[in-house]
Amino acid sequence: MAAAVLFAMQRSTPRYQDLTGPIPAYGNIGKAASTRLFDIEVERVEFARQLVGKRFGGETRHESAGVWAIVTARMVARSRSVNVTHAVWEGPTGLRYELSDRPEFLPDLPPHTLEPGLPQRGRFVFEIRPDQILGATLLVSEGPFPRLDSEAHVALNALPTAADGLPPIAEAFDLQQAGGRP
């Protein structure tokens, strides 16, 4: 009997990671998520097969075996300067995609230095599988391991879809233009 009770206690006790893990601050596309240090509002999410940009005076193209997901967000610090350095695309099946470091020619990639009262736009770029688009969540935090601190969880469930059920996927996305389209 004691062994059964001990086994049940072991299986039902939360793990250390769960006890000290990030505290989610929820939001949606167009609705801000407010963490302890900053607010973030995802304005749009766009998808493309190629990223186009300029580097050293010449055009640079990055292709992906999957799809490029480009998230444009408006962020502002709450009470002190903050460096937002980490974002993760969490697909509907739980697959997590870290920020891509391939599009180095984009000027508004993390780290995003935020100041109180001064909103700024920034982009987060991911390489994802097409089946991880619908039902995804964007996780944004000050650092890669937000222990006992808040982390923005922005549901990306209000994406416009085409006839095939997926959002429109452009052939190329120009990172240098303000609107993002070539």
Decide if 71 is inside a domain. yes
Decide if 114 is inside a domain. yes
Ranges in the chain, pLDDT < 70: 105-107, 177-182
CATH of the domain at 116: 2.60.40.1240
- Domain extent for 105: 21-174
Name the domain count of the chain: 1
Decide if 1 is inside a domain. no
Decide if 9 is inside a domain. no
Helix (H, G, I), strand (E, B) or coil at 130: helix
| φ and ψ of 90, to 5 deg | -105, 115
**Element counts in the chain: helices (H) and strands (E):** 2, 12
Q: What is the pLDDT of residue 182?
A: 36
Decide if 12 is inside a domain. no
Q: What is the pLDDT of residue 172?
A: 92
Q: What is the pLDDT of residue 36?
A: 94
Q: What is the pLDDT of residue 141?
A: 95
- Supply the pTM of this predicted model: 0.85
Decide if 14 is inside a domain. no
